[in-house]
A and B are shown apart, each in its own frame.
Chain A
Amino acid sequence: MSSPYITQPTSVNALMLRVLGALVPAIGAYVYFFGPAILVSLLLASVTALLCEAAMLKVRHYAADAFLVDGSAIVTAWLLALSMPPLAPWWLVVVGTAFAIVVAKHLYGGLGSNLFNPAMVGYAVMIVSFPVPMTHWAAPETLAAAHLSFAQDLRYMFAGVLPDHLKLDAVTMATPLDTLRTQLKLSHTLSEIRRLPIFGTLGGIGSQTVALMYLLGGLYLLFQRVITWHIPVAMAGALALVAGTLHGIDADHYASPGFELFTGGAMIGAFFIATDPVTAPTTPKGKLWFGAGIGVLTYCIRTFGGYPDGVAFGVLLMNMTVPLLDAYTQPRVFGHAEKETTRGKPQ
């Protein structure tokens, strides 16, 4: 073996653990506002992910003792579960996660080789295939017409059965982004819409706090140098810039930058999803372009498209550009002139 003979005490495993840790505050807020059902989703996704991962590792003759515990499958599972509606039926979580791990991750080469963000592939496939359950969002506890006990949550998730006297509408409601869109279609102005009870100061009641917790977790990851600032800043910046411009032009029809940043998947997207190292560019400039691209696409899909949120598709579209971005944003190598195509010759 060649030198170096010492390495920093770090590992893939340690990085993934920190990502999971950074998600904990947001999960806490989630439980507080939307009930403990999300924990069941997380558990379900984790178990599915590990089982699929183990099976695929076996098929591909990879060492389970190293790869099953690397934490990457759990991260995918958690991100996917957190992107799905809180009361998503069990099969939705299981199928989505299985698809993410088996197809999006392993059929594309496994850890380090997949082109597309597995969690977002799982999400996209689910929303295209099962649009109805994917858009049934549980209402925040403070707003829901009726409360479900944890047992009732479980019954709904696993059997699709609600207590006799309840209709689905009583426990779910449209997401803030959806509400905004439908209300705009009904030609209400933005200031009227924002007075609806579902909205808080930043985004939706409840979900704005969860988004703040994502921000907090993201800052922890930055501080721990698990991620760099480029992608979150570029994505949030681009999203805010486009939103701010349009909001400035027509404040009645275009939501404010703050609203765009703290609703939907913008925060988890900026700090946890777009920063997935495997599917993001590696060069600083590439990361900036990548993040900015996601920000703009997210805004466009949210505002002009037909899907409840644009983060997933924004990320997937930008994933495709990563090889190009990497190739065209190579930093200047030490001792080289700024523009140089053929570099180093054997010496």
Chain B
Amino acid sequence: MRPLFRFNGGIHPPQHKSESAGQGIVPGPLPKRLVLPLHQHIGAPAKAIVKPGDRVLKGQMIGQPQGPISAAVHAPTSGTIHAVGLHALPHPSGLQDLCIELWPDQEDRWIDRQPIEYREKDPTRVLDHLRSAGVVGLGGAVFPSAVKLNPGPPGRVPTLIINGAECEPWITCDDALMRERSGEIVEGILIMRHLLDAQEILIGIEDNKPEAAAAMRRAAAASPFPMEVVVVPTVYPTGGAKQLTQILTGKEAPSSGRSSDIGVACFNVATAYTVHRAVNHGEPVLSRVVTVTGNVRQARNFDALIGTLLPDLVALAQPKDDTDGFIMGGPLMGHRLPALDVPVVKAMNCLIATSPALFKPAPRPMPCIRCGRCAAACPVKLQPQDLHWFAKASNFGKAQEYALFDCIECGCCSYVCPSHIPLVQYFRHAKGEIWAREREKKAADTARERHTFREDRLEREKKERAERLAQKAAAATAQAAGDGAAAQSKEDALRAAIERAKAKKAEIVPRNTENLPPSTLSEIEKIEARRAQLREAAATKSLDQKED
């Protein structure tokens, strides 16, 4: 038996897994409309490479990754691009972002799929392949996997951890995937192991999923490379990457670094599955398993196309009449959706229909009585009671000093607080404020710098002008000494006039017009490009408006 470690605190909320577990993965709908956000991952948004009217095939890239940290977006089925424009995203703000709207032709015709033989290829080719297949972490972080799988110096990451903990209540999508597709997950793990050159593979699964663990054990036994399925105790938030790493290895990922610093890489089981599909079958990420549960008659795991609008998906689960909203994700870290008319995205693992009976309204908050339960429950060993004071008083510097940014927003503290203080919301607010202030400060610093620079330039130009004037005047006096007095006064007047005109001209010589440095030229170019985009967006307007 492998010795297991434990993290501080944690909680044991009611599981609610049985509602949706063990029912098998059901295919999602093939709706009339798909809305594909260009920014479903961490990093730079993808760039649309299709125009309205274009016909696309299933698996065709429609959004190209931009910059080193980005991921591609693909057409989940064949059809016609209807629009490129703004649409609401599944985000707590309910705000819109750039999306591609695809109208499926219901034929579901594949593009020519190109699997690659990963063992024979240069690793960078495989990584490029994953990047253009849009593979991102499906555990919730949606970080581009190609970046994380970049091995760096050999032997840097000896341990590969596969996260099948799935610790949040209600969610069973990874459970379903492990039960049904364990072989394919193992295939994906082998690819990741190959890329990282890892020596040890640990698959962590909570002990409330014995079927999944058994399935994974069977698949692992058939694997050419040894991998160990480790059943870990059910404690929330075991599924946090850093927490699972600690449980399995006893190592703490440094706060300021990444887990590769301690020789560990951690991936979700669903990510492993998509790596396998991308490499061995040439299929990009077109769908994901989404648990639809809660106040519904048929809680199920659906294999839903990315971009499926939630009303289409939810209808299959038959929400009950007293449903008053939906949570995307779990009840501890998820978000209530302001509106249901948003698409399935790669980060969406679960949708919970809520009713007043299932999710009681939050009890009224009382003042903190400093009972310390929050600190005892915090897996990061923070002092939420102190942090909340600092956040409430807008004393953000102090909050940062007390390691606010190490908070993983797991919600354990709010869950146990006898005063029902919305602690996590304070922390989210404080983090947002600090980021905003950081941005503001950066902008102010740039402005200060540019302003000082401009002042200096104006000063310099003024001085230069004055010098030129003085020189000319001196020359004029010298010349004038030899001429007649009458001629002199006449010429003087003339010269002075010319001088004045020149000075005036110098004064209005526009800056920024001649000798533009290449940096400015490229800036102008960029702006032109942006303007083109803006015009495009303005032309397409909001997708919804066009719809009406």
Do A and B interact directly, with beta carbons closer than 8 Å? yes
Judging by beta carbons under 8 Å apart, are A335 and B400 in contact?
no
Judging by beta carbons under 8 Å apart, are B415 and A282 in contact?
no
Within 8 Å by CB of A326, from B368, B386, B434, lies B386
Alpha-carbon distance between A55 and B365 when the two chains are bound, in angstroms: 21
Within 8 Å by CB of A346, from B11, B368, B400, B415, lies B400
Interface string of B307-335 (1 = CB under 8 A from A): 00000000000000000000101011111
Chain B min CB distance to A168 (Å):
41
Judging by beta carbons under 8 Å apart, are A333 and B385 in contact?
no
Interface string of B72-109 (1 = CB under 8 A from A): 00000000000000000000100000000000000000
Contacts of B7 in A (CB 8 A): 334
Q: Are A345 and B252 also in contact (CB < 8 A) when A12-B366, A282-B383, A330-B383 are?
A: no
Interface string of A5-33 (1 = CB under 8 A from B): 11110111011000000000000000000
Contacts of B376 in A (CB 8 A): 228
Q: Taking the complex as formed, is B428 at the interface, i.e. its CB lies under 8 A from any CB of chain A?
A: yes
Stretch from A154-162, A185-193, A336-344 forming part of the interface with B: A336-344
Q: Taking the complex as formed, is B347 at the interface, i.e. its CB lies under 8 A from any CB of chain A?
A: no
Alpha-carbon distance between A332 and B382 when the two chains are bound, in angstroms: 8
Judging by beta carbons under 8 Å apart, are A3 and B405 in contact?
no
Within 8 A of B (CB), among A303-339: 326, 330-336
Judging by beta carbons under 8 Å apart, are B363 and A2 in contact?
no
Within 8 Å by CB of A6, from B254, B359, B406, B428, lies B359
Stretch from A108-116, A175-183, A291-299 forming part of the interface with B: A108-116
Q: Are A6 and B327 also in contact (CB < 8 A) when A1-B336, A333-B406 are?
A: no
Within 8 Å by CB of B405, from A1, A11, A283, A345, lies A345
Q: Taking the complex as formed, is A197 at the interface, i.e. its CB lies under 8 A from any CB of chain B?
A: no
Alpha-carbon distance between A63 and B428 when the two chains are bound, in angstroms: 27
Contacts of B438 in A (CB 8 A): 346
Alpha-carbon distance between A334 and B252 when the two chains are bound, in angstroms: 7
Q: Taking the complex as formed, is A66 at the interface, i.e. its CB lies under 8 A from any CB of chain B?
A: yes
Within 8 Å by CB of B383, from A110, A113, A277, A283, lies A283
Q: Taking the complex as formed, is A278 at the interface, i.e. its CB lies under 8 A from any CB of chain B?
A: yes
Alpha-carbon distance between A25 and B120 when the two chains are bound, in angstroms: 77
Alpha-carbon distance between A4 and B11 when the two chains are bound, in angstroms: 12
Alpha-carbon distance between A113 and B367 when the two chains are bound, in angstroms: 8
Judging by beta carbons under 8 Å apart, are A2 and B420 in contact?
no
Q: Taking the complex as formed, is B404 at the interface, i.e. its CB lies under 8 A from any CB of chain A?
A: yes
Judging by beta carbons under 8 Å apart, are B406 and A11 in contact?
no
Alpha-carbon distance between A332 and B406 when the two chains are bound, in angstroms: 12
Alpha-carbon distance between A128 and B107 when the two chains are bound, in angstroms: 90
Alpha-carbon distance between A98 and B8 when the two chains are bound, in angstroms: 41
Among residues of B, the one whose C-beta sits closest to the C-beta of A112 is B367
Judging by beta carbons under 8 Å apart, are A15 and B418 in contact?
yes
**Interface majority SS (helix, strand, loop, mixed), chain A:** loop
Interface string of A42-77 (1 = CB under 8 A from B): 000000000000000000000100110010100000
Contacts of B417 in A (CB 8 A): 7
Alpha-carbon distance between A70 and B366 when the two chains are bound, in angstroms: 9
Among residues of A, the one whose C-beta sits closest to the C-beta of B246 is A334
Q: Are A5 and B422 also in contact (CB < 8 A) when A12-B369, A112-B368, A343-B400 are?
A: no
Q: Taking the complex as formed, is B146 at the interface, i.e. its CB lies under 8 A from any CB of chain A?
A: no
Judging by beta carbons under 8 Å apart, are B370 and A1 in contact?
no
Chain A min CB distance to B294 (Å):
11
Within 8 Å by CB of B255, from A8, A63, A344, lies A344
Among residues of A, the one whose C-beta sits closest to the C-beta of B428 is A2
Alpha-carbon distance between A25 and B139 when the two chains are bound, in angstroms: 52
Chain B min CB distance to A117 (Å):
12
Judging by beta carbons under 8 Å apart, are B418 and A10 in contact?
yes
Judging by beta carbons under 8 Å apart, are A7 and B381 in contact?
no
Among residues of B, the one whose C-beta sits closest to the C-beta of A333 is B403
Alpha-carbon distance between A7 and B336 when the two chains are bound, in angstroms: 16
Within 8 Å by CB of B375, from A5, A66, A283, lies A283
Among residues of A, the one whose C-beta sits closest to the C-beta of B333 is A3
Contacts of B424 in A (CB 8 A): 2-4
Judging by beta carbons under 8 Å apart, are B371 and A277 in contact?
yes
Within 8 Å by CB of A347, from B332, B405, B411, lies B405
Q: Taking the complex as formed, is A37 at the interface, i.e. its CB lies under 8 A from any CB of chain B?
A: no
**Interface majority SS (helix, strand, loop, mixed), chain B:** loop
Contacts of A11 in B (CB 8 A): 363, 366, 418-420
Q: Taking the complex as formed, is A280 at the interface, i.e. its CB lies under 8 A from any CB of chain B?
A: yes
Within 8 Å by CB of B332, from A6, A70, A278, A335, lies A6
Within 8 A of A (CB), among B1-36: 7-8, 11, 13-14
Among residues of A, the one whose C-beta sits closest to the C-beta of B169 is A6
Interface string of B344-378 (1 = CB under 8 A from A): 00000000001000010011101111111001100
Q: Taking the complex as formed, is B379 at the interface, i.e. its CB lies under 8 A from any CB of chain A?
A: yes
Contacts of B375 in A (CB 8 A): 282-283, 331
Within 8 A of A (CB), among B417-443: 417-420, 422, 424-425, 428, 431, 434-435, 438
Alpha-carbon distance between A171 and B370 when the two chains are bound, in angstroms: 42
Within 8 Å by CB of B363, from A7, A110, A345, lies A7
Q: Taking the complex as formed, is B242 at the interface, i.e. its CB lies under 8 A from any CB of chain A?
A: yes
Contacts of B92 in A (CB 8 A): 2
Chain A min CB distance to B67 (Å):
18
Alpha-carbon distance between A90 and B405 when the two chains are bound, in angstroms: 54
Contacts of A280 in B (CB 8 A): 370
Alpha-carbon distance between A341 and B368 when the two chains are bound, in angstroms: 26
Among residues of A, the one whose C-beta sits closest to the C-beta of B426 is A2
Q: Are A12 and B383 also in contact (CB < 8 A) when A7-B362, A277-B371 are?
A: no
Alpha-carbon distance between A63 and B363 when the two chains are bound, in angstroms: 14
Contacts of A3 in B (CB 8 A): 327, 329, 331-336, 411, 424
Contacts of B406 in A (CB 8 A): 333-336, 343-344
Within 8 Å by CB of A343, from B327, B366, B401, B428, lies B401
Within 8 Å by CB of A277, from B369, B379, B382, lies B369
Within 8 Å by CB of A5, from B359, B363, B428, B435, lies B359
Chain B min CB distance to A287 (Å):
8
Contacts of B420 in A (CB 8 A): 7, 11
Q: Taking the complex as formed, is B402 at the interface, i.e. its CB lies under 8 A from any CB of chain A?
A: yes
Contacts of A343 in B (CB 8 A): 255, 400-403, 406
Alpha-carbon distance between A3 and B92 when the two chains are bound, in angstroms: 10
**Known A280-B370, A346-B431; 10 more pairs at CB < 8 Å:** A5-B327, A6-B331, A7-B420, A8-B415, A67-B366, A330-B383, A333-B382, A334-B379, A336-B403, A336-B406
Q: List 26 A-B contacts (CB under 8 A).
A: A3-B333, A3-B336, A4-B424, A5-B362, A6-B13, A6-B415, A7-B420, A8-B11, A8-B13, A11-B418, A63-B364, A111-B367, A112-B367, A331-B381, A333-B255, A334-B8, A334-B242, A334-B246, A334-B381, A335-B253, A336-B403, A343-B400, A343-B406, A344-B403, A344-B406, A346-B431
